[in-house]
Every structure is written in C-alpha cells, then in structure tokens.
Amino acid sequence: MVFRLSSLKPLHTFGLNHTAESISYLATPSDFQELVGLALNTDFILLGSGSNVVFLEDISIPVFINRFYGKTLEETNDAYIVKVNSGENWHEFVVWCLDHNINGFENLGLIPGTVGASPVQNIGAYGVEVERFIKEVEYLNLKTGNFETLLKNKCNFGYRDSIFKMSCLKVA
C-alpha cells in the first residue's frame, strides 16, 4: 500500500513533522522482494520502528516501513526454538518470550527497535547480547532477490556489530 505526501511524524521516535513523497508498508516476503530492483537502481529508506532516526526535512526518496509480523514457537526436550519475523517490536517480543517461560531475555527488555534490527547491531544490555540467542538469521539478498540463511558463526557478531552492518554482505 502506497501513500503520497504522507507524514513521517508517527514513523520515527522524535516525531518531527516532515513528509515523504511516498510511504509503502512491507508485510510479506514478496513485498520485500520487490525492493531488489529498486535497491540496485535508486536510494530508499527502510524503517522498522524508526528508533534512532530523526527526519530533519521532507524526504523525496521512497520510504518503506517493515510490518512483517509473526512468531512461531517449538519446544524440544532441551530448548525453545523461536522463529520471529523482522517487523516485530523488540520489547514486545521480549515480553512474549517471558510470557511463554522463555528466560534469558530479561536484560534485553525496553531496547527500542524491531527484531530485524537486533542482529544488525547485536543489541545488548547488562552483559547480555542478542547473539547469545541466535541460531541463524534469514535475510533477503538484495542482489539476487533470494532469501538466504546465515548460521550464527557466519554473522561475525562483535560488540554492537555484525556482518549485516557492512555495506556488502561478504560471507567467507
């Protein structure tokens, strides 16, 4: 769904009143795949919850908002396996885990942003980083248009860092 000359005010945490020429909401994998050609040919902005973003002027490039929601939970004898889509609110996900007796995320509550942003920054607080809980990350390769999976050991997690912060994903 695309809106023209829409307000950015509710889409970033500082709430400054600027507009974008177009705002589109991405809710399915195919919505994201439509970005592939665009990513190679033009600039655009992809937002999750808009935390740590400040719009100081009107935006003349397309703005896309991640609204890809969904969670699944599988219990094994020795683990919980949670699959969560990138548009989910991070703090609400932490609360959901605790409501399902999945412990360990307590220190990561109240961190702003979306689940999709969490491995990019390797978010952390009070000695706990999200990499501790990640088995693998599925992402869209903007060059091929394919969804690909990186195992944790290929994500190059470091202090507030990962392979996803690099301008070009290079997997060794």
In the residue annotation, 132 being an active-site residue is answered as no
Length of the chain as a residue count: 172
Catalytic residue among 4, 67, 132, 160: 160
Q: What are phi and psi of 97, to 5 degrees?
A: -60, -45
CB 22 within 8 A of CB 38: no
Q: How far apart are CA 168 and CA 142, in angstroms?
A: 10
Task: Classify strands 80-84 and 136-140 as parallel, antiparallel or unpaired.
Answer: unpaired
Identity of the amino acid at 141: N
Q: How far apart are CA 90 and CA 97, in angstroms?
A: 11
CB 115 within 8 A of CB 88: yes
Q: What are the residue numbers of the active site?
A: 160
